Amino acid sequence: MIKAILIFNNHGKPRLSKFYEHYNEDTEQQIIRETFHLVSKRDENVCNFLEGGLLIGGLDYKLIYRHYATLYFVFCVDSSESELGILDLIQVFVETLDKCFENVCELDLIFHVDKVHHILAEMVMGGMVLETNMNEIITQVDAQNKMEKSEAGIAGAPARAVSAVKNMNLPEMPKNINIGDISIK
Amino acid sequence: MPAVSKGDGMRGLAVFISDIRNCKSKEAEIKRINKELANIRSKFKGDKALDGYSKKKYVCKLLFIFLLGHDIDFGHMEAVNLLSSNKYTEKQIGYLFISVLVNSNSELIRLINNAIKNDLSSRNPTFMCLALHCIANVGSREMAEAFASEIPRILVAGDTMDSVKQSAALCLLRLYKTSPDLVLMGEWTSRVVHLLNDQHMGVVTAAISLITCLSQKNPDEFKTCVSLAVSRLSRIVSSASTDLQDYTYYFVPAPWLSCKLLRLLQCYPPPEDGAVKGRLVECLETILNKAQEPPKSKKVQHSNAKNAILFEAISLIIHYDSEPNLLVRACNQLGQFLQHRETNLRYLALESMCTLASSEFSHEAVKTHIETVINALKTERDVSVRQRAADLLYAMCDRSNAKQIVAEMLSYLETADYSIREEMVRVLKVAILAEKYAVDYSWYVDTILNLIRIAGDYVSEEVWYRVIQIVINRDDVQGYAAKTVFEALQAPACHENMVKVGGYILGEFGNLIAGDPRSSPLVQFNLLHSKFHLCSVPTRALLLSAYIKFINLFPETKATIQEVLRCDSQIRNSDVELQQRAVEYLKLSSIASTDVLATVLEEMPPFPERESSILAKLKKKKGPGAVSVTELEDSKRESSELNGAGERGPDQSVMAASNASTPSPSADLLGIRSAAPVSTAPAGAGSLLVDVFSEAGPTASSGAVNDDGFLRDLEQPPETSDPLLVEGSGDSDSAPPSEDPAPPLSEAEELLNKFVCKNNGVLFENQLLQIGIKSEYRQNLGRMYLFYGNKTSVQFASFTTTLNVQSKPVEPLVEGGAQIQQVLNIECLTDFSDAPLLNIKFRYGGALQNLTLKLPVTINKFFQPTEMASQDFFQRWKQLSQPQQEAQKIFKANHSMDTEVIKAKLLGLGMALLDNVDPNPENYVCAGVIQTKSQQVGCLLRLEPNAQAQMYRLTLRCSKDSVSKRLCELLAQQF
């Protein structure tokens, strides 16, 4: 079972956190910090698995992570999951995000937390994997968007204004995640 | 066109996020957030009704604020309102908010449940999926109560859309995990199994997780899934990479599903049906073959997916442990991976090999890789991989390579640099290997002293206790040990643990090296005393005892040592313990005669044989690599059980035959030795257990009992001097009862239950007779005093008691108003579930009284409490994850649910009650080891009270399944 899915950037700022087991808010934040601490101190070129921190359940749980450009994608899983399988799942997740957002970058995750949640929900539900087929996931997300569009009507107008915001002068414009040439690291 | 166009979204939200991102300081950020929270709050509270779009926008803002780590204490109601909107977007954001932010706020749950109910019955697949997602993500008990019967219906209904089926399967799984009692098996179960054949791969993917979990808990009911899983797997494995279209991932057909199928098969023994088995073996061979084929793509994703399947296949092969051919291939494949350039593969190969090392067939094959593994331990850059290598070395260690492995692990410890927790485990392992495979004990002593030198900080008490036990019990190594510690203490800085060992050993055996002028008594003393001031209080106390022993060993040191004891820093020490020791030792040395001194300070008698305390500790701690070796201890038997062979040995039948009166097999399980009858009793009754066990007193103590403790040889003749030892199985005809004993009283079981959590009390009482019980247990031994009181004024004649095992007769007459006593010595040979029967017959007046009771001896009496930290507990818990190892009961409270009462009961049970282990402080968690002669059974317990429902959930996990079951039955009656 997947216990938690965390995405944070190189500085430890959380970009997505999804817990499939109940913790109170404080513990969740501590887990994110602890996980960041464990994962970020690791060199490149070491393996993608490590034992979970104490808060998440210690040695019973593994952290399986991948590091893409500015973001860490970390899945915390128990022993019933295949390590390599989860690595593939992370890859499917990122590729799906990339298709949905067209060259996904950290900003997309920031400004569209809800969308990211919805995409994730098509893949993982209650800690178990629902679907691994990218096309199927994207079809579902597309269908949602169509429905949104048809409902948006007049409310669609302000949406267009947002594109301007995305190009505003931001202090640190994160790089695209750049899915094209990902090697495993 | 991308599915989410970049322009979509809400302007207000985007501006807010940008504001936050532009904040220069944390304070500014908090200020901005508070401003926004105030704004949203006023909007929600305001008179103007908000439209759906605004609500959605504000809820999104709250989500973002929450993600930044701020508490959100409002907005829940608005989110719930969104659920009932007819607009998809609003409904969706409402559900999102709830699944991220709401957990089990009971008032809201009712409202949420209402909305979910509407959506489930809407027949709109999108809405249904949203609702199912929400149930799965929140997964509270209230939700299970509301929907547990509805979801299976949706799952198997013929007209349910595929996407809804997928969600329903996982939703049901979640409910089953949180509240298994509410998900009732039924007609739907067989149809769920057939989802494995579903056309839609997504449905199969979701269903298989559900089926795996259900079959772990109800293996028989889901047995049919094996053949279905095999045929599905076979179709996937043999398909071309293009056959499965979208489910082909980087040229590998359906890797995720294949892994899950292989995992499901690991819940069962190898299929019995030859055809199914043949097909499965074929699949496994194909998977192994594919690993050797050239890759279809250079992309790492391709090899990842391929290897994910391969590793699962290998796990299955190891799980079956019955196909030598496949095992060898698996081992070779892992061997290749050990040197692979991918770090991930090296890591996984080491991990899999650890389990392989415990298989009889492949232990030797694994050993051939020793050089590679040692090399990994030395050169691997990645700490995680090095840890796996160390675990594997531990697992592959046996007598033939112990010296090499222990040496490598020691030198690794010298350079290792990681956290305390891991270091401790590593140190324990070295200590265990050294002990287990020690051929000559000087090597053992060297190793442990080296260990203390290298990693003194991480050497726990158990390690140095153990080395002292062993040195004391083996006189051939004492001189060497004394010499070695003496040398080790010469080092200018030596670890405090070394001082402890040194103090103890020189105090006992310093005389063995005193002949050499370089280690004359005074030199030894000065050496020890030079460390004294650097040590902590407990070590100083130990050293003081060593000094007084010196006075006995070497009278010439008396003056010097008395001088030391007399000085103010000792005799006026602010620490009470030290002060007391100094005063007493000083006095003792001044007034006692040499003879008295020699008696008091005699050399320590050998320790009674017991299991290595280190091993016990590691059993609690068990890193992944430890599994194999500790299990090897009771290996043969275990492995035959694993393969589904009969769980009882042949000796069983003998006993059953000798006990015609009861069907219970308890007789051979619980050997009861009857001690001398009544006459000796009353005075002895008060004496403590301690002397019960060292029965013959100091004279015998050097004899049989602790012969050679080291190898824990259970075969050695047990205290043969004890004439009263009667093996239960032997002579059942020695005292055949003249009349058949009565069947057990109807309330016998109930009476037994009264004694599960206590040892003393009144077992039985009627108008004539009162039977009291006092009992004491230690490890696998126990002593029970039975008091038969005559409540009448008339004599009981022909008083006999018969155990269905064996006992010595009691006094045949019980005078009116008098009491007689019977002592039983009990030894637990192996685990058991039926209590022995006690039959009592006597004549009262003319009438024969015949009465049978259950003797309150239950398996929990042989518990040794085990303290452990939270992480150890959970690790151990996880290791006992096979379904048959767990027993669970949910039951109504029969007694008060008061915390103190429950605690007292759990303590009475004999396990250690662990605090701060369970994340929920309401729950109780206990750990203990049941000591039997043949083996030890580790047990973990978790009791979850639900005060509102007046219910408990009790879960037990034990290394032996019959024990879990029995304990669960016993305990369910207690609360």
Q: CB burial class (10 A; 0-12, 13-18, 19+) of residue B683? A: exposed
For B688, phi then psi, to 5°, come to: -80, 165
| Nearest chain B residue (CA) to A46 | B382
Q: What strands lie across the sheet with B847-854, from one edge to the other?
A: B796-803, B837-844, B847-854
| Nearest residue on chain B to A89, alpha-carbon basis | B256
Helix B324-338 and helix B300-320: axis angle, to 10°? 140
Burial of B949 (0-12, 13-18, 19+ CB in 10 A): exposed
Query: Angle at which helices B201-217 and B162-178 pack, to 10 degrees?
Result: 20
Instruction: Flag if A14 and B69 touch (Cβ within 8 Å).
Output: yes
What is the C-alpha separation between B220 and B822, in angstroms, rounded?
Answer: 47
Asked if the Cβ–Cβ distance from B4 to A115 is below 8 Å, we say yes
Q: Which of B332, B344, B588, B607 is CA-nearest to residue B473?
A: B607
Q: Does domain B746-854 sit in CATH 1.10.8.60?
A: no
Tens of pLDDT, residue by residue over A14-64, are 999 999 888 888 888 899 999 999 999 888 888 899 888 778 777 788 999
pLDDT of residue B451: 80
Instruction: Specify burial of residue B159 (Cβ count, 10 A radius: 0-12, 13-18, 19+).
Output: exposed
DSSP string, B333-349: HHHHHHT-S-HHHHHHH
Residues of chain B positioned with their CB less than 8 A from the CB of A15: 67
Report yes or no on whether pTM surpasses 0.80: no
Read off φ and ψ for residue B734, nearest 5 degrees: -65, -35
Q: What tens digit of pLDDT does each residue of B688-714 get? A: 332 333 333 333 333 333 333 333 333
> CA-to-CA distance for B866 and B617, rounded, in angstroms?
9
Number of neighbouring beta carbons within 10 Å of residue B715: 6
Residues of A in contact with B167 (CB under 8 A): 125, 130
User: Is residue B43 marked as binding?
Assistant: yes
Cβ pair A46:B63 closer than 8 A: no
Q: What is the pLDDT of residue B710?
A: 33
| Interface contact flag, B136 A126, Cβ < 8 Å | yes
Which residues on A lie below 8 Å from B53 (Cβ)?
155
- Of all residues in chain B, the percent with pLDDT exceeding 70 is 83
Q: What is the pLDDT of residues A61-115, one digit of tens each?
A: 899 999 998 999 999 999 889 999 999 999 999 999 999 988 888 888 888 888 8
Chain A contacts of B3, Cβ < 8 Å? 99-100, 138, 141-142, 145
| Chain A nearest C-alpha distance from B920 (Å) | 10
Choose the closest CB to B103 out of A22, A88, A102: A22
For chain A, the first-to-last Cα distance in angstroms comes to 24
Q: Which two tokens stand for residue A155?
A: 């409310």
pLDDT, tens digit, 9 for 90 and up, residues B654-669: 333 333 333 333 333 3
Binary contact (B205, A131; C-beta < 8 A): yes
CB contact under 8 A, B344 and A163: no
The CA distance from A107 to the nearest CA of chain B, in Å, is 10
ipTM associated with this complex: 0.84
CB contact under 8 A, B171 and A125: yes
Q: What is the per-residue pLDDT for B636?
A: 33
Please give the pLDDT value at position B872. 81
Residue at token pair 């505003």: A168
Which residue among A92, A159, A168 places its CB closest to the CB of B8? Answer: A159
> What is B859-972's CATH superfamily?
TATA-Binding Protein (3.30.310.10)
Q: Among B58-67, B138-147, B335-344, B892-901, which is the least confidently predicted range?
A: B892-901
Binding site annotation covers B53? yes
Range scoring the smallest mean pLDDT among A157-161, B51-55, B195-199, B743-747: A157-161
Whether residue A120 is predicted with pLDDT greater than 70 in this model: the reply is yes
Q: Say which of A131, A136, A158 has its CB closest to residue B11.
A: A158
Q: Which domains does chain A have, with CATH numbers?
A: 2-150 (3.30.450.60)
CB-CB neighbors (< 8 A) of B307 in chain A: 84
Side-chain-side CA neighbours of residue B81 (13 Å): 14
Q: Please, are residues B162 and B195 in contact by the beta-carbon 8 Å criterion?
A: no
Nearest to B384 among A16, A49, A82 (CB): A49
A35 CA: distance to closest CA in chain B (Å)? 15
For B139-153, B185-199, B717-731, which range has the lowest pLDDT when averaged over its residues?
Answer: B717-731
Delimit the domains of chain B by residue range. 10-101, 456-600, 746-854, 859-972
Distance from CA of B12 to the nearest CA of A (A): 9
Q: Is the model's pLDDT at B591 over the cut of 80?
A: yes
Rounded to whole angstroms, the Cα distance separating A96 from A175 reads 18
Q: For B407-452, what is each residue's pLDDT tens digit?
A: 888 787 777 665 545 665 666 677 777 777 777 788 888 888 888 8
The alpha carbon of residue A101 is apart from the nearest alpha carbon of chain B, in Å, by 5
Give the mutation candidate from B1, B4, B304, B381 for the A interface (greatest A CB count, under 10 A). B4
What band does B744 get if pLDDT is binned at 50, 70 and 90? confident
Test the A interface: residue of B1, B5, B8 with most A CBs within 10 Å: B8
Of the CA atoms within 13 Å of residue A167, those in its CB half-sphere come to 6
